[in-house]
Structure 1
């Protein structure tokens, strides 16, 4: 995982600038606060915007950082090394026309054990004769990048098909100046100088430095083309148990493979106390991840330590203590069951308790990191992930006592994507609420308030399918870039097993719609994420299979933290 910062200026000459820290020296300065004006021996041309952003980029990867200057292009990269060997960035090779900045992880099978992601991407680019579109399309993983072609005078940048990493760009009014960055400046006046946009997924942006023109080229397939949500729907009685079990077996295999790729490719420079961590509410999505991590480790004859990071807030407005939040209670319950079910695996439950004062102390930083997202709801969600990923909390001991503990895992697993893929939101359930209410009133012999005729297959199924397709196609806008920025500021990387390309494709195309949002016509009951609940029961996680969905901001009580905010809407500006 890395931080990317690139600045092009048609009028400035950066070629005299030198970085003071020599190769590898940053490994001795893990706690340094990077002062760009000090670290770069400057000829006087250091943009205030560049200087403001660089420390945030450094926070994303504290194993290595480097500044590289060409005549009109300056780049700053930070590196969190999670795959051998530690590879410096910006990356290039002798006689190569390309300079790469790469953030993320690749899971292509051809990557050799001694080969780093950025080395593989550069080699592939050379093999494809500099065809950036073809190269990016072939990469399998969660990533963002910038590629500077010094011969063709072009700068390419973009994200993977789902947009799982943060990358933004900003242009000056006359198009003579370009920024490509993982983070934004926290200075309002600097933000106004450029129009910053979050990069769209499945798009390769091309900036021609000769023409001062930015163009967008769609990859060979977009997320909607790649992942077409099927509309297969059958009633309760027509789908056989054998067919359902076959689907669940395939679903389990696909999810296990996704998790395997993400937990067996973790080789940090500094060995952590645990192998990796899971952002853990105790709910079905993250508990499934924890269980499959355990199963995979047992199959591989490993006895790992896994940190379960659970965050809860002292919410003065709601009058709640962290120990009493819904997520904390469920996390403790799920942790105890996991320990009993998989005794050879050490699950460390880390309780991260956030006081109101601590929240206020960090609020400005969270608000800056999540921008351009700026609503009350964004803040409440971002705050939960920000503090959870910090790892600062108390470990729950077997005897129930608590000891101060810091999780230093560099890789975090997130359950993001499960709700979008399997119908986990209220808006999905709402599609069937009308017909559900009618059925329940019929069973109770109550007169109908709603006399609408609902046709399940002609009206409701297509509507549900469209909702799920829209959610999948717009994931990058709603969640991932924001979450990436607030998590990565701790020099940690978040990985999304539910958003693995192969798993998303299988879930979209092969899992029937009625196994995602299940409607029982006999009782009128609606069950969200039905397939995941069946899968949980299948592997013995019955205690969590029936747990209702809670949004993180409500489960952790990070929503509406401040007094007098009870009537504030989630869409209001934070």
Structure 2
């Protein structure tokens, strides 16, 4: 994980403000530096300022950024993880490997074509800025799914003589900052008097969804096939292997002598528990795994509960944190994990957030999630923000750890189940679509959700989580796994069947006696989790993070998810 800042202007080199420099360095606390250069071509002069910070997770040495090619003066800023290149796994420092390939492109007759060739062969999340000094061209973009944040904003004086590209919103252009859209590479020719952005599509586009429909005489089983279940487990294990292996150990003064390298954003629900369970199979058993579980003190919920207790005459007050749905689910799945996988030290980190503390951090959260600016964005990112901070009370399966003691995770890699709902039909609207129009309508809804995930979630979440110097990794959004899951027919993903009523969401978890009776949403994931011994987790309902952690409607009143929070600037979607 790294922080990227690039400013192009006809008037000035810029110096980051103290606040902007701090936000950038928080994303990459291991190294940072700046570089200034001038593009002079075609009678035009453009002043370029680059600044980057680095979170070192690859290779034996930290590669400081921006990377500058001494031969040509070209500049490269990289925020990503290149897991493989042209189908071959990359080992060592990927920044060094990719920068050398891009600097080699400078010698090509058509640098745009050579650049696209290189980027299209990368598997893994990334955002980048690359200045080709030889041709006076600036390129930038995000990977095909948009898994890393990159914002663009024009200067306030004119739309075409000043530009800022950055991982987070900065003061030089926050009012009109917007997400750089994937899956494209953008180019600017600096031999012209105005900044004109050209769009260069990547060669490899995300795969299309399988639109196959069952024939009129097809007889479908109640559950996905055993073959699909086994293929899911195999592909997810392969995805996890890339994301949990070879992570360097990081220690915090005064913390455990046995530091964790990997943590899971852990609500105790189906997706994250399946990831935790499979992580156990691919990670050496001597490495502890932290399970980060967040719960909020919600004044609205507390007031409503007090009113109910007053009516009923009850005097027993529920714990504001332990009564949160995700806390109860989290502890239940933690208990199940320790029974099924007793060989590992599991650390359940209970992260309790008082309402007062949320208010103290609210301005920072709103700034980081910008240009997203709704109450729903705030309720989701607040939970991710405090979960990623990783400060709570630990309950561990190891005798070496003190129970319920203050703890801050040392893990710099956080696993997330994001993408599972979009790929396997986990939202209520997927069930509604099937009820309305069968598999055809379900497929349309699945495709819509998946194609907008980068624009709606990924950049925003990256900005919030990386603030704590941690990197969020998405096993469900691995390129090979995505290709596998999109290629499955709809009935292999879900348990929705013609003529079979779709049950309503259940409020309590009832573990059935057989997998055929599991809830139909994300049935393939449920079958895999069941097969891996986690029957309780396989039966868990889908619950949005803002309701599970109780960050929704914290202020009371008639707040809607679409209501705007206090704005820090105007926003727009798309480049």
Q: TM-score, normalised by structure 2?
A: 0.83
User: Counterparts of 1:396 and 1:86 in 2: how far apart (Å)?
Assistant: 33
Correspondent of 1:182 among 167, 176, 182: 167
User: Counterparts of 1:550 and 1:73 in 2: how far apart (Å)?
Assistant: 46
Shift in Å, 1:428: 0.7
User: Counterparts of 1:483 and 1:571 in 2: how far apart (Å)?
Assistant: 18
Q: Deviations over 1:64-111 (max 9, x none)?
A: 000111131111100000012210110133314531100011101645
SS at structure 2 position matched to 1:11: coil
Q: Deviations over 1:419-476 (max 9, x none)?
A: 0000001111111345xxxxxxxxxxxxxxxxxxxxxxxx422211111111111101
- Is the 8 Å Cα contact of residues 83 and 268 (structure 1) preserved in structure 2? no
Correspondent of 2:544 among 551, 566, 571: 551
Unaligned runs of 5+ in 2: 39-46, 253-257, 303-318, 504-519, 566-575
* Mapping for residues 276-315 of structure 1, pairs under 5 Å: 276-297=262-283, 301-315=284-298
Q: TM-score, normalised by structure 1?
A: 0.83
Distance verdict in 2 for CA 1:73–1:137, change over 3 Å: same
Shift in Å, 1:356: 0.5
* Mapping for residues 17-416 of structure 1, pairs under 5 Å: 46=14, 52-71=19-38, 72-84=47-59, 85-108=61-84, 110=88, 113=91, 115-128=92-105, 129=108, 130=111, 131-172=114-155, 173-185=158-170, 191-192=174-175, 195-211=176-192, 212-223=195-206, 226-233=207-214, 238-239=219-220, 244-267=225-248, 270=251, 273-297=259-283, 301-319=284-302, 321-397=320-396, 401-416=403-418
Correspondent of 1:466 among 440, 444, 458: 444
The residue that corresponds to 1:524 in the other structure is 501
The residue that corresponds to 1:486 in the other structure is 464
User: Counterparts of 2:418 and 2:351 in 1: how far apart (Å)?
Assistant: 20
Shift in Å, 1:231: 3.5
User: Counterparts of 2:119 and 2:438 in 1: how far apart (Å)?
Assistant: 38
Distance verdict in 2 for CA 1:149–1:50, change over 3 Å: farther
Alignment of 1:512 with 2:497, yes or no, is no
Please identify, of 393-402 and 202-211, the stretch whose mean Cα deviation from structure 2 is larger: 393-402
Aligned-residue RMSD, C-alpha: 2.3
- Is the 8 Å Cα contact of residues 82 and 267 (structure 1) preserved in structure 2? yes
- Is the 8 Å Cα contact of residues 425 and 493 (structure 2) preserved in structure 1? yes
User: Counterparts of 1:273 and 1:573 in 2: how far apart (Å)?
Assistant: 40
User: Counterparts of 2:228 and 2:526 in 1: how far apart (Å)?
Assistant: 13
SS at structure 2 position matched to 1:505: helix
Please identify, of 277-286 and 53-62, the stretch whose mean Cα deviation from structure 2 is larger: 53-62
Distance verdict in 2 for CA 1:235–1:247, change over 3 Å: farther
SS at structure 2 position matched to 1:569: coil
- Is the 8 Å Cα contact of residues 166 and 481 (structure 1) preserved in structure 2? yes
User: Counterparts of 2:416 and 2:214 in 1: how far apart (Å)?
Assistant: 29
Distance verdict in 2 for CA 1:96–1:262, change over 3 Å: farther
- Is the 8 Å Cα contact of residues 294 and 350 (structure 2) preserved in structure 1? yes
Please identify, of 51-60 and 340-349, the stretch whose mean Cα deviation from structure 2 is larger: 51-60
User: Counterparts of 1:276 and 1:351 in 2: how far apart (Å)?
Assistant: 16
User: Counterparts of 2:224 and 2:196 in 1: how far apart (Å)?
Assistant: 54
The residue that corresponds to 2:568 in the other structure is none
The residue that corresponds to 2:481 in the other structure is 503
- Is the 8 Å Cα contact of residues 397 and 403 (structure 1) preserved in structure 2? no
User: Counterparts of 1:208 and 1:170 in 2: how far apart (Å)?
Assistant: 17
- Is the 8 Å Cα contact of residues 491 and 497 (structure 2) preserved in structure 1? no
User: Counterparts of 1:550 and 1:374 in 2: how far apart (Å)?
Assistant: 22
